[in-house]
């Protein structure tokens, strides 16, 4: 890309955006991101971006609708300012859990979000560990799907000891847990089979795999209400797990999740910094793993037209 590299940030995760810009040895782009008195989002780009290769960093985390709208408005502003290429860098992609219809008269909101980003003028999307990898196919523009598992596995190795078993909290996460177990020197694998009684409520049924006397690592893509993790940890403790850790790509921490985690039989929870950590963790032991080096290298490679796949091979 011949245009100058520029990095801009919405309001959802400015610390991460600043860290990415610092690693790229670039100043964070100047933009006004605020609200009108009636609550509408207001954006103004305060510097020349004509022909530039622009990367807009914005997690669509809570408040999801506000942050998504901010991102769309920023992309539209950059498009109208004649930016050469606009990449939406979305560390946490909200609405990705609604990627299919499970009953009648439901939306496929992940597809709608993809359509909105393209309609606003995004020419590329970069994101981290989508809840459903199939969401990549909802876009007609390139999507760089980055993986947090190498970073999280490196962080976990510093605290794990003894015999380790990686646990998937449900059948749908087996592939993710298997990949993670290989990154932890071929740790053994276990699966919790559960009955989902509501979209964010689960009841564990059985644990398949030997966890007794072992250090268990529950691996998931995100922590929302904490119900899956809390119930899963309890099931593992009842079956004799020696220590229980949690590793998730995104720490959404909705509702009373922090209280749930604080009272669960957990040693520590590891998440990426795709979503800012709440100021008060209410006693939950949480460690954030930095993703800025990963995003900065991916941005550099995209700007220089180099391979992204090489980051994970």
Residue 48, Cα to own-chain centre: how many angstroms?
Answer: 31
SS3 call for 179: helix
Q: Which of 156, 6, 20, 40 shows the shortest CA–CA distance to 90?
A: 20
Active-site residue 194, yes or no?
yes
With residue 258 as reference, give the H or E element that holds it: helix 257-263
Return the residue matching tokens 């606003």. Answer: 120
Number of C-alpha atoms within 13 angstroms, CB side, residue 6?
A: 22
Burial string for 51-75 (b: 16+ CB within 10 Å, else e) reads ebbbbbbbbbbbebebbbbbbbbbb
What stretches of the chain adopt beta strand conformation (E)? 5-9, 31-35, 41-45, 53-57, 85-90, 124-128, 143-146, 164-168, 188-198, 201-208, 215-223, 243-251, 268-272, 286-289
Which residues have a catalytic role annotated? 194
């Amino acid at each position: 890309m011949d245009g100058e590299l520029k990095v801009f940030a919405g309001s959802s995760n400015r610390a991460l955006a600043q860290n990415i810009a610092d690693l790229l040895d670039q100043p964070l782009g100047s933009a006004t991101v605020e609200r009108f008195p009636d609550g509408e989002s207001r954006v103004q780009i305060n510097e020349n971006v004509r022909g530039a290769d622009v990367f807009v960093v914005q997690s669509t985390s809570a408040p999801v609708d506000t942050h998504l709208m901010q991102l769309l408005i920023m992309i539209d502003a950059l498009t109208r300012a004649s930016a050469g290429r606009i990449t939406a860098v979305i560390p946490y992609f909200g609405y990705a859990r609604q990627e299919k219809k499970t009953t009648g008269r439901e939306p496929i909101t992940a597809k709608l979000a993809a359509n909105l980003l393209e309609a606003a003028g995004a020419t590329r999307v970069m994101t981290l560990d989508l809840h459903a990898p199939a969401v990549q196919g909802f876009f007609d523009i390139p999507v760089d799907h980055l993986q947090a598992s190498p970073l999280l596995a490196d962080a976990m190795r510093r605290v794990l000891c003894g015999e380790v078993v990686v646990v998937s909290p449900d059948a749908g996460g087996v592939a993710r847990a298997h990949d993670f177990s290989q990154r932890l020197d071929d740790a053994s694998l276990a699966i919790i089979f559960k009955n989902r009684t509501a979209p964010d409520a689960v009841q564990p049924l059985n644990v398949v795999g030997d966890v007794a006397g072992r250090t268990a690592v529950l691996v998931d893509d995100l922590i929302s209400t904490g119900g899956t993790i809390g119930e899963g940890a309890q099931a593992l403790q009842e079956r004799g797990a020696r220590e229980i850790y949690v590793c998730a790509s995104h720490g959404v921490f909705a509702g009373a999740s922090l209280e749930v985690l604080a009272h669960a039989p957990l040693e520590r929870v590891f998440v990426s910094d795709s979503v800012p950590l709440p100021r008060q963790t209410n006693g939950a032991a949480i460690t954030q793993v930095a993703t800025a080096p990963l995003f900065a290298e991916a941005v550099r490679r995209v700007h220089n037209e180099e391979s992204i796949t090489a980051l994970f091979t």
